[in-house]
Chain A
Amino acid sequence: MHEMGIVVSFVNMAKEYAVKNNAARVLKVVLQLGEISGIEARYLTEFYPVVVEGSILEGSELVIETIPASVFCTDCATTYNPVISDLKCPTCGGEHCDIIDGRGLFIKEIGIEEKSDG
């Protein structure tokens, strides 16, 4: 169950940016989650409210966008989605590939409400 640690990591990053940008509170956090990252979106969503409790992120919305997996077949040079094609290359049936995309987890952006002056 490594999602809890990951939630703590990105919440801390979001907090850092929020404070730097004079935020009174954070309204939403948008993540981009790779399809083959090994991280379950469901758990991120479940742990999020617990981790942000009592911080300027409390009550904010967590949006998770999916980055589709993409691999390059080293046998025939086709680029394909390994999740859809059950790991095998749809062109040549090969199973040797380099991963191009879909392993990472990124914070794309956060929405904040700024402190009003004075």
Chain B
Amino acid sequence: MDNVRIIEIKKSVLDNNDKAADELREKLKADRTCLMNLMSSPGSGKTMTVIRTINALKDELKIGVMEADIDSDVDAVKVAETGVKAIQLHTGGMCHLDAYMTEQGLSEIGTKDLDLIILENVGNLVCPAEFDTGASFNVMILSICEGHDKPLKYPLMFSIVQAMLINKIDCAEHFDFDLDKVTAYAKKLNPDIAIFPISAKTGQGFEAWVEWLRNKVADSQ
């Protein structure tokens, strides 16, 4: 067959997503909206942390929340009770969000009138770390019941976040969680990581975390 030809491409498959993510970041900057990508395992207390964070900041910032899950809208319904705009994104079986899905969510929630949009990613410490969503910055939650060895098992997640919240510290006495060890493991992977021990249930440690977030939003505006 004369008309058969090989076309050399030699391009990274993840390039397209990285490019889309960079464009999204530029657009958010132009709209003076800050997008925080929040990641963690299922059951680490993401939604409760989001709700307490909203309640601490909703009088000074216009906040929106995008809840990403494989199915259901229980999280969006819970968050909407705080009075902020919340939408649910369904990933249709996918384990993470990419920049395209984030962009669809942003066009639904509308970026122009919001100072801070919290993107609650799918509960998973693996795949969400591998795909740039276009967020202004990344934050993760590790709850003490998950163990202090997680930075050793999921190094990528700990190396791409600007802050780590260590949740459920009100239960610390029931677990053998070593805060010094997790701090050392995480700092080895990511020397600039900010670490905040918190309890989304009691509010312990929230002042420092909320202050960090407030400054981060101000910086990006």
Contacts and interface: CB of A to CB of B under 8 A. Distances in A.
Same complex for A and B? Answer: yes
Interface stretch (B9-17, B52-60, B193-201, B207-215): B9-17
A109 interface: yes
Given A2-B130, A5-B98, A17 B9 contact: yes
Interface string A22-64: 0010010001000000100000000000000000000000000
Contacts of B153: none
A109 B7 CA distance: 5
A1 interface: yes
Contacts of A94: none
Decide if the interface of chain A is mainly helix, strand, loop or mixed: mixed
Closest A-B pairs by Cβ, 7 of them: A114-B3, A2-B127, A10-B13, A107-B9, A105-B13, A109-B8, A111-B6
Contacts of A24: 3
Interface string A57-98: 000000000000000000000000000000000000000000
A6 interface: yes
Interface of B: 1, 3-14, 16-17, 93-96, 98, 126-127, 130-131
A111 B6 CA distance: 4
Interface residues of A, number: 30
Nearest to B101: A5
29 contacts: A1-B93, A2-B94, A2-B127, A4-B94, A6-B14, A9-B17, A10-B13, A17-B9, A21-B7, A31-B13, A104-B12, A104-B14, A105-B12, A106-B9, A106-B13, A107-B11, A107-B13, A108-B9, A108-B10, A109-B6, A109-B7, A109-B10, A110-B7, A112-B4, A112-B5, A112-B6, A113-B4, A114-B3, A115-B3
